[in-house]
Structure 1
């Protein structure tokens, strides 16, 4: 999954820039290897050799998957159960992303392609790359997502379209199975997060994206602590378990607990009828159940984060969707974001108990002090 703390480096690599360059997005037009698009277009040109090496394309409902059958980016598995000439890993990735995207939309989340930030993007692409060749520093990662609109004029397969993208590690054994369970919902949800707000706090991006993985997964009792770990009760706990947690993915316990507490007061998840019958190439269902606890609360939080994005841009005199990297990651935003979470939970209609009362009483500013 995405390593948020390394995104600046990956952003430069993604665009074909110098290795190790960690730059703010609004400085990228001065980097070697990158050309700026038309004035105000917000669609950048990339000549990244690894992306251009993906010459095979599969398309499903407007979702495009680019991959290679040979060379350094060849898929680790070419299994093709239905014999149609397209590897199952490729078909399953497109099918799952289209399914998850439609469920997100049906439940009120704003399509990143419809967001003001990404208004120039025409499609969402999946690039199946060997991460060891693409960027050795992320060789053990299963997926990445990118918050830039890009076009590739050097690729005939991509038809010079402006796109958002996620990348899946094509060389990591077992990743086909991960494509069919948590990987696609996680990376796609990052694009939805980027479309709603500019904040890059890892406790928010990764923790909430871990919650989103359950959109098509079947809930079970193999790990009860996923839903039962109490909310932080003191500023010290909030800092240790959320703001300063060294493993941002572990903050899923915080977001999952919010979802568990909120589920009683929200409507069932919306599910387009035609998605229920969808099957992966091996015959297994794409949607494992129709339980997605906390979706209404998370939507309110994301929408409010968007409002806070506008407020911060005004306060700091920033372009609405072109913040310097330091502003996106500034930990000074933590109290502001947590107050949004507290207000959303308080207004969710959930009956308050001692756990909720203690959490709502925390001053997030006190938890953000070193």
Structure 2
């Protein structure tokens, strides 16, 4: 059985003596499009030296995640400025999120996806010069102080994970980046904001899906607010919201005793891998049409709204495969008819 990533982190962390990484794995997408190792491991030669922050031995006992681990790093000049209590809570939230995304949403961890075959781990950089916020990066990189290839995210070193879901949000972005090239805000940020409801609990069915082109355009021009669109769609696909959440995950706590996962029900959890797979395949189709490397899109193209028809096509394909037309509620059928003429 694969070792928990926090155990592996202890072993490898002793060798690296540098910051944070965690793991992820592929979905059905890679079964559809098999590919050899791809991409380039970019050298960040101008980055300041990083040093590791040791991982905790008490992290999420009895819960296992697939992959090589999460390693925490900090700029060498700021290594004494890390609040170890907050770092511990960040670590616990990330561990729980990784398990939740894999075992409840059935998503493949990033490091097991073709895009990141050259990456050895996930690095979490704690930025002590900022108190909150975070950013997930999408390239495989290395630097003189960390020569192993990795993917990474950065978090404010003072993020209070017991009251802030930025770590889990950014980890979800790494899952997205591994599966798809699309970064349109309504998809990228909307879905990541929706993922936060897995920790807060109490996810509501949300307002009705767009019923006309103006309402649909408003969603596709939005960002975090698009979480309501995804929540409603998932509710219509799975109104029961029954999921099996590992008991060990439900029992996890922050250092102050607060539950990490306040989960009562999740709508459409079984639909998520189908959606990610369809979006992956849509991205591959765009790459072939445009004659781009599958994982080598310019950043502007990843965010360009001109690819919304491809996203709508993937959405239509995933919904149709998951819930045939005859079984769809009227509201969902009307939405599918609305987007059909707009698909690529």
TMscore range, shorter length? 0.7 to 0.9
Pairing 1:18-33 to 2, within 5 Å after superposition: none
Answering whether residue 233 of structure 2 is matched by residue 258 of structure 1, we say yes
Deviations 1:302-330 (A, max 9, x none): 11001111111111111111122233223
**Equivalent pair of 1:335/1:364 in contact (CA under 8 Å):** no
On the 8 A contact 1:145/1:166 being kept in 2, the answer is yes
Q: Which residue of 2 aligns with 1:148?
A: 139
Q: TM-score, normalised by structure 2?
A: 0.76
8 Å contact 1:235–1:366 — kept in the other structure? no
Distance, in Å, in 1 between the alignment partners of 2:343 and 2:120 is: 41
* Contact 2:135–2:170 (CA under 8 A) maintained in structure 1: yes
Aligned to 1:29: none
C-alpha change, 1:253 and 1:276, in structure 2 (3 Å) is closer
Matched, 1:200 2:183: yes
Matched with 2:216 is 238
- Please report the RMSD computed on the Cα atoms of aligned residues, expressed in angstroms: 2.9
Per-residue deviation, 1:294 = 1.9
Distance 1:153 1:113, change over 3 A: same
Q: Does 1:185 align with 2:183?
A: no
Cα drift, residue 105 of structure 1: 1.4
Corresponding residue for residue 162 of structure 1:
149
Look up the match of 1:114. 112
1:176 aligns with 2:150: no
Q: 1:345: how far off?
A: 2.8
3-state secondary structure, aligned to 1:96: helix
Matching residue within 236, 261, 283 for 2:257: 283
- Look up the match of 2:18: none
- 2:169 and 2:196 in contact (8 A); partners too: yes
TM-score normalised by the chain length of structure 1: 0.71
Measured after TM superposition, the shift of residue 277 of structure 1 is 2.8
1:338-360 Cα offsets, whole Å, 9 max, x none, are 13223333443384333223211
Q: Which consecutive residues of structure 2, in runs of 5 or more, have no partner in the other structure? A: 1-36, 60-64
Task: From 333, 336, 340, give the equivalent of 1:360.
Answer: 336
Question: Per-residue displacement from partner, 1:229-270 (whole Å, max 9, x unpaired)?
Answer: 110011111002x2222xx0111111111122122377x434
Counterpart of 2:270 in 1: which secondary structure? helix
Distance, in Å, in 1 between the alignment partners of 2:240 and 2:314 is 18
Alignment map for 1:263-274 (pairs within 5 Å): 263-264=238-239, 268-274=242-248
- In structure 2, how many angstroms separate the alpha carbons of the residues matched to 1:70 and 1:332? 43
Match status 1:98 vs 2:98: no
Structure 1 residues 347, 340: CA separation in 2 closer, same or farther (over 3 Å shift)? Answer: same
Query: How many residue pairs were aligned?
Result: 295
Q: Secondary structure at the match of 2:124?
A: strand
1:212 aligns with 2:199: no
Q: Which runs of 5+ in 1 are unaligned?
A: 1-38, 79-86, 133-138, 221-225
CA contact (8 A) 2:234 2:268 kept: yes
